């Protein structure tokens, strides 16, 4: 699928960051077929703008997630425990920019994301930024190692009415530390990001019959690649969308 956005005006990265960086936010995620995603984009408010950099509107992402040998980060998510966290590097492959990111649970279940500019040569090594991770997580004495990587293509939308964002990710592929690989074909993962309230794009999704689902690119992917891990939060989604 090619995400069709020609009918929308562009927004620059500088303006998007200034108006809707949303490092502390409420996220809602939806899993749509590619056809349904195309229909959604055709229905967006004409005032919606799409991130454009050097004439491009869809960008390649690579994320590497780090966890402990006994998968503390994964298990906190799988069992819906408090004080959940994720540690990852995110590389924007089209620009080679890289960040080390730590996501934690914020007020009333929101998400707080802290990030540090990072050398893309260390995208699979957390140690150069371990001081940053420890500062955010309180210096917990655990080993972190690369556990899962994801690749996908993302298009980002900005709604000026409330400065909310929406991302559409396609072509998602998971690869674990042992080299096992799995793709999520025919699927778009749509995520809305708001300061607090429901966004116009959430209301549009609901009007089209789509409801938020529980999906974590890290935890859902790891559960799909390792059948022995707990997968209750994502079992129905995996059965529906993964080829057997």
Structure confidence at residue 99 (pLDDT) = 96
- Tokens representing 44 are 């967006």
| Residue 121 within any structural domain of the chain | yes
Domain count, the chain: 1
What's the whole-number mean pLDDT along residues 143-149?
Answer: 96
| Residue 3 within any structural domain of the chain | no
pLDDT in tens, 189-217: 999 988 777 889 999 999 999 999 989 99
Structure confidence at residue 6 (pLDDT) = 86
pLDDT in tens, 28-63: 999 999 999 999 999 999 999 999 999 999 999 999
Regarding predicted confidence, which is higher, 16 or 132?
132
| Residue 2 within any structural domain of the chain | no
Structure confidence at residue 24 (pLDDT) = 61
Domain CATH for 184: 3.20.100.30
What pTM was estimated for this model as a whole?
0.92
Domain that holds residue 148: 18-241
Structure confidence at residue 16 (pLDDT) = 86
| Residue 6 within any structural domain of the chain | no
**Per-residue confidence band for 142, with pLDDT thresholds at 50, 70 and 90:** confident
pLDDT in tens, 153-196: 999 999 988 888 999 999 999 999 999 999 988 899 999 988 77
| Residue 51 within any structural domain of the chain | yes
Structure confidence at residue 242 (pLDDT) = 72
DSSP for the chain, written as a single string? -----TTSEEE-HHHHHHHH--SEEEEEEEEEEHHHHHHHHHTS-TT-EEE-BTTB--EEEEEEEEE-TT-HHHHHHHTT-SS-EEEEEEEETTTTEEEEEEEEE-GGG-EEEEEEE--GGGTT--GGGHHHHHHHHT------EEEEEEEEEEEEEEETTTTEEEEEEEEEEEEETT--EEE-TTEEEEEEEESSSPPHHHHHHHHTT-------HHHHHHHHH-TTS--GGGHHHHHHHS--
How many angstroms separate the CA atoms of 209 and 200, rounded? 14
pLDDT in tens, 100-121: 999 987 666 567 889 999 999 9
**Per-residue confidence band for 22, with pLDDT thresholds at 50, 70 and 90:** low
| Residue 229 within any structural domain of the chain | yes
| Residue 147 within any structural domain of the chain | yes
Cβ-contact 230, 79 below 8 angstroms = yes
Structure confidence at residue 244 (pLDDT) = 52
Regarding predicted confidence, which is higher, 30 or 24?
30
How many angstroms separate the CA atoms of 220 and 217, rounded? 6
| Residue 4 within any structural domain of the chain | no
What's the whole-number mean pLDDT along residues 137-152?
Answer: 90
């Amino acid at each position: 699928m090619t995400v069709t956005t020609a009918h929308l005006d562009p927004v620059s990265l500088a303006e998007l960051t200034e108006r809707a960086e949303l490092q502390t936010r409420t996220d809602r995620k939806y899993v749509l077929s590619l056809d349904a995603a195309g229909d959604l984009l055709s229905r967006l408010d004409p005032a919606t703008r799409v991130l454009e950099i050097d004439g491009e509107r869809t960008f390649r992402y690579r994320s590497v997630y780090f966890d402990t040998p006994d998968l503390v980060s994964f298990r906190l998510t799988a069992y819906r425990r408090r004080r959940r966290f994720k540690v990852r590097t995110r590389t924007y492959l089209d620009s080679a920019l890289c960040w080390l990111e730590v996501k934690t649970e914020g007020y009333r279940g929101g998400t707080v994301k802290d990030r540090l500019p990072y050398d893309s040569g260390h995208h699979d090594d957390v140690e150069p930024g371990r001081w940053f991770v420890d500062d955010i997580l309180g210096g917990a004495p655990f080993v972190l190692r690369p556990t899962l990587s994801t690749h996908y293509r993302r298009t980002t939308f900005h709604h000026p009415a409330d400065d909310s964002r929406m991302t559409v990710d396609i072509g998602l592929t998971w690869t674990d530390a042992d080299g096992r690989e799995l793709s999520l074909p025919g699927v778009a993962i749509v995520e809305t990001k708001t300061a607090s309230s429901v966004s116009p794009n959430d209301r549009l999704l609901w009007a089209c019959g789509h409801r938020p689902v529980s999906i974590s690119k890290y935890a859902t992917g790891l559960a799909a690649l390792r059948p022995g891990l707990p997968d209750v939060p994502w079992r129905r989604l995996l059965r529906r969308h993964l080829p057997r």
